[in-house]
Amino acid sequence: MLNSDELRLFLAVMREGNMLAAARRVGVDHSTVARRLTNMEATLGARLFDRSPRGVTPTPAAFALVSHAERIESELLAAMSSVAGRDREVEGTVRLATPEAFASHLIAPRVAELRERHPRLTLELASESKAASLSRREAEIAVMLKPPPKGRFVTRKLADYRLGLYASKAYLAREGAPTGRGDLSRHVFVSYIEELAGFAEMIALDQLLPGAAIVFRASSSAAQHAAVAAGMGLGVLHVFAAAEDERLVQLFPESMPESMPESMPESMEVWRSYWLVMHADLQRLPRVRAAADFLEEVTREMRERL
């Protein structure tokens, strides 16, 4: 019969893609991983990995086993947390994967409050453009721009937010402010590197101005913000972040003065949504629940700025 240690090693190999990295992850030597995998295969009567000088490749049997192994792992974690929670505070580490702007402007400035509430809880904030894989345990919680299409996930909408067209005061002084939608064609723009964007929803410029002349691209929303503020060109930025920057001016916002001439374009704002996503097997863990509650509280209090 398989035991929990063997399943832990198996999952480490599946997540890391090779035995050496898996050995480092669980704190054993490479030979121990190889030996226990061989024992597992003998117990199951099936080959789990094809070995080669380049590493290991999971077989169909491995993919069939992985969901069962993850369920057992989650139940063991839940059992440990349930028992430990009777005598101790919420504690442990929770990794949260979020888009960069959400992490920098909404969560990081408030994280001290979470620390005060749960001193033994450590939050790891992984802010990046690509979507983290919850199924591979790259994070316990993720904030995404759309719900995952499939999988055993718990998904809740956190909040809607706005993206707007911005320019720096220095850029407008140099190039002149656009007087209408047609006039935007003479301006240059800052945007994302499309193939590095984790969600198509991140690239709002294509929706507002298809075919815009782009002179600078970055995978980082903070880098785009900095480039627009420095006068590189116009850019679609998060309103909750750009509104705090005195160097920036929003062009054609949703609420425009009635004195605007009829030639002006309609609002150049785009609405997007943040979604809270957790693996169903982890949602009962006290540390995960505490972090999720904190995220919902922060976004609820910040909705007017979004």
**What are φ and ψ of residue 72, in 5° steps?**
-65, -45
Residue 257 has pLDDT above 70, yes or no: no
**8 Å CB contact between 277 and 97:** no
- Of the two residues 259 and 27, the one the predictor is more confident about is 27
Is the predicted pLDDT of residue 136 greater than 70, yes or no?
A: no
Give 131-181 as a 3 state SS string: CCCCCCCCCCEEEECCCCCCCCEEEEEEEEEEEEEEEEHHHHHHHCCCCCC
Rounded Cα distance between 198 and 130, Å, is 4
Q: Are residues 187 and 252 in the same domain?
A: yes
| Residue 10 and residue 138 in one domain | no
Asked if residues 201 and 163 have their Cβ atoms less than 8 Å apart, the reply is no
Question: Bigger pLDDT: 107 or 255?
Answer: 107
168 plus 262 within the same structural domain: yes
DSSP 196-211: G-SSGGG--HHHHSTT
Q: Are residues 261 and 166 part of one domain?
A: yes
Helix (H, G, I), strand (E, B) or coil at 264: coil
pLDDT per position as a tens digit, 203-232? 888 888 888 999 999 989 999 999 999 999
How many domains does the structure of the chain reveal?
3
Banded pLDDT at 281 (limits 50, 70, 90): confident
Are residue 122 and residue 54 in the same domain, yes or no?
A: no
Residue 235 · residue 250 · CB < 8 Å: no
Range of the domain at 144: 92-159+273-302
- Distance, in Å, from the CA atom of 235 to the CA atom of 279, rounded to the nearest integer, reads 35
**Mean pLDDT value across residues 272-279:** 90
Of 84, 104, 138, the residue that ends a domain is 84
Last residue of a domain, one of 23, 53, 84: 84
pLDDT above 90 for 75: no
Q: Mark whether 154 and 290 lie in a shared domain.
A: yes
Residues 175 and 243 in one domain: yes
For residue 144, which of 157, 163, 125 has the smallest C-alpha distance? 157
Residue where the block lists tokens 């909750």: 240
pLDDT at 76: 75
Within 34-73, strands assigned E span 49-52, 55-58
Mean pLDDT, residues 31-52 taken together: 84
Looking at the fold, whether 171 and 107 belong to one and the same domain comes out as: no
Q: Are residues 137 and 99 in the same domain?
A: yes
Q: Residue for token digits 């979020």?
A: 98
**CATH number for the domain including 192?**
3.40.190.10
Mean pLDDT, residues 257-272: 62
pLDDT at 198 over 90: no
| Whether pLDDT at 262 is above 80 | no
Model confidence band, residue 121 (pLDDT cutoffs 50, 70, 90): very high
Same domain, 251 and 277: no
Model confidence band, residue 51 (pLDDT cutoffs 50, 70, 90): confident
Domain identity same for 33 and 61: yes
174 and 259 fall within a common domain: yes
